[in-house]
Amino acid sequence: MLLLALDTSAAATVALLRDDVVVGRFGSADTRSHAEVLAPAVQGILADAGVPGADLDGIVAGVGPGPFTGLRAGLVTARTLGFVWDVPLFGVLSLDALAFDAVAGEAVEAGSAFLVGTDARRGEVYWAAYRAAGDALPELLDGPHVGTAASLPKDQPLAGRAASLYPDDLDGLPAFTTSDPDAASLARVARLRLLAGEPLLDTAPLYLRESDAKVPGPRKRATA
């Protein structure tokens, strides 16, 4: 199985996965240049691997939650590539990639609950609660949500950058306090679901926040 994965919910990351082997990957720490770096990364990874796009078995996109502009850059890229190459699209909750990493890194014991959190800016975090499930994929218990770090469930360790942003409120899992969703892990999550015959998401973005626009009131009348 050959999967190309993109996640732009935080950093811009791209990975090419052949079965369970990562044959190419790209990551940029810059969270504001997705529209610049994404296409060259896809082009470079496929060229280096000698893989024509139409040979892919699927394109996996992280559907967020994440800052909107970067998230859209990834999703429109995935959708356009899928359209041109006529390759199926699979959506995966971006937080699933972090949960996968925390369990694969043996930071949480099988059966225990933990949190995943990323930077939502404006003093808030995107988060979800999971349970580690041995060899299987982590089980999503609650979320995704957006809220202040102080509003998260207490007494559960957290994987993801939110931990280093709000150390007073969150109990970070060592080695995962500055982690962002990674496309290679996203691809692995998608692959395991596909192999297990589990459903995947479509590529609809998880904004979690409304566009916040309000209808303005009428102009005040001048009165004498």
Partner 1 sequence: MTVLPEWTVVHEVGSAAELQALAAALAPHLRAADLLVLSGELGAGKTTFTQGLGRGLGVTDRIISPTFVLVRQHAAGGSGPGLVHVDAYRLDGAAAVDDLDLEAGMAANVTVVEWGAGRVEHLSDSWLRVDILRPVGVLQTAATGGPVTAFDDDGEDEVRTVTLAGFGPRWHARQPPLLLD
Partner 2 sequence: MMRGEPLVLGIESSCDETGVGIVRGTQLLTNTVSSSMDEHVRFGGVIPEIASRAHLEAFVPTLRTALDDAGVTLEDIDAIAVTAGPGLSGALMVGVSAAKALAVATGKPLYAINHLVAHVGVGMLGGTFADGLPANLGALLVSGGHTEILRIGNIASDVELLGSTIDDAAGEAYDKTARILGLGYPGGPVIDRLAREGNPKAIRFPRGLSQPKYMGTAEEPGPHRYDWSFSGLKTAVARSVEQYEAAGMEVPVADIAASFQEAVVDIITSKAVLACREHGITELLLGGGVAANRRLRELTGERCTAAGITLTVPAPSLCTDNGAMVAALGAQIIMEGRAPSGVSFGTNPSLPVTEIVLASGEDGRA
Closest separation in Å from C-beta 45 to partner 2? 10
DSSP reduced 3-state for 194: helix
By beta-carbon proximity to partner 2, the closer residue of 21 and 215 is: 215
Q: How far is CA 137 from the centre of its chain?
A: 15
Residue 131 touches partner 2, criterion: CB under 8 A: no
CB atoms within 10 A of CB 6: 26
Output the CA torsion sign for 76, 82, 85, 86.
Answer: negative
Residue 213 touches partner 1, criterion: CB under 8 A: yes
The entry of partner 2, partner 1, none near residue 121 (CB within 5 to 8 angstroms by kind) is partner 1
How far apart CA 77 and CA 139 sit, in angstroms, is 28
Residue 150 touches partner 1, criterion: CB under 8 A: no
Residue 84 touches partner 2, criterion: CB under 8 A: yes
Give residues with Cβ within 8 angstroms of 194, minimum separation 6: 1, 58, 90, 200
Q: Interface residues with partner 2 (CB under 8 A)?
A: 33-40, 42-43, 53, 68-69, 72-81, 83-85, 205, 207, 211-216, 218-219, 221-224
Q: Interface residues with partner 1 (CB under 8 A)?
A: 32, 67-69, 121-122, 209, 211-214, 216, 219-220, 222-224
